[in-house]
Structure 1
Amino acid sequence: MKNFENLKGTFTMVGSVLALIIGIIGILNFVNACITSIITRKKEFAALKAIGMTERQIRRMVCMEGGYYAAGVILFSLVLGTLFSYVVIGNFVIFWFTTYRFIIWPMMMVLPFMVVIGIVVPYITIKVTDKESVVEMLREE
């Protein structure tokens, strides 16, 4: 029993560390995509400001886009993650003395953080990168 508990602890630790690393990579990828998108769309934002869109409306638009990305990721991960878990991982039981149990609560705990990151990261990015005037942004090549 003690050896089994050690084996179980090892698998739990390795799985948790891998999930943490993949999560950090995903968050960094999202941050990179937001920053790149906002920087490449500077002229678009300048044109929108020139025709009367306010800073607040642009920030709201960018935050809504981030929220849509987060909603898409949530839907994608819930549907495909659950299917993958049952079809692939459920049939990949290595040891004869183990059974597979799908647990959804860790995924549900992460979802609110994904929504917050999806809204806050674009907001901070647009706030930091939007320092120039409309004329300066339109002149840039």
Structure 2
Amino acid sequence: MAIGVGDHLARDERGGVGELTQVVPGQDGPQGGPGDTGGAGGWLSEKAGRLKPNGRVVRRSGLSTLVELEALRIGVEGKAMLWHTLLDAADHDTRLEPDRLTELLGRARRQRTVLESLHDTVAAALFAPGQQEERESAVNP
């Protein structure tokens, strides 16, 4: 469950660069936009992370899901702060669309709520004493 929702949020997060280029005219996104290799870097980092000496080369560590949810939350928080800042600037900059920024800020807040709930669920299962089977099912659906 956590991974499916996390994948959805990650796809939504990657779409944030596209949103930024639409909301702020003249911005091509980081390092030139669509041709950027950020996606490949993320893939490589994820694969390299599996090589860590945690005794689970084939299977994911229980903490992996928790750490990934925390990383997604940081991204969503940063995005929400950006939309909030641009919304404040929209009072003085006619290029910015307050309605669209309000919509994007609302979406980031909803994502934050989902991530908080998932984080709480995974953390409770992971750190509950004597709950090994539940722990495995919560972090490895």
**TM-score higher than 0.5:** no
- TM-score between the two structures when normalised by the length of structure 2: 0.40
- TM-score between the two structures when normalised by the length of structure 1: 0.40
Higher relative contact order (CA 8 A, sep 6+): 1
Larger Rg: 1
**Which has the larger share of helix?**
1
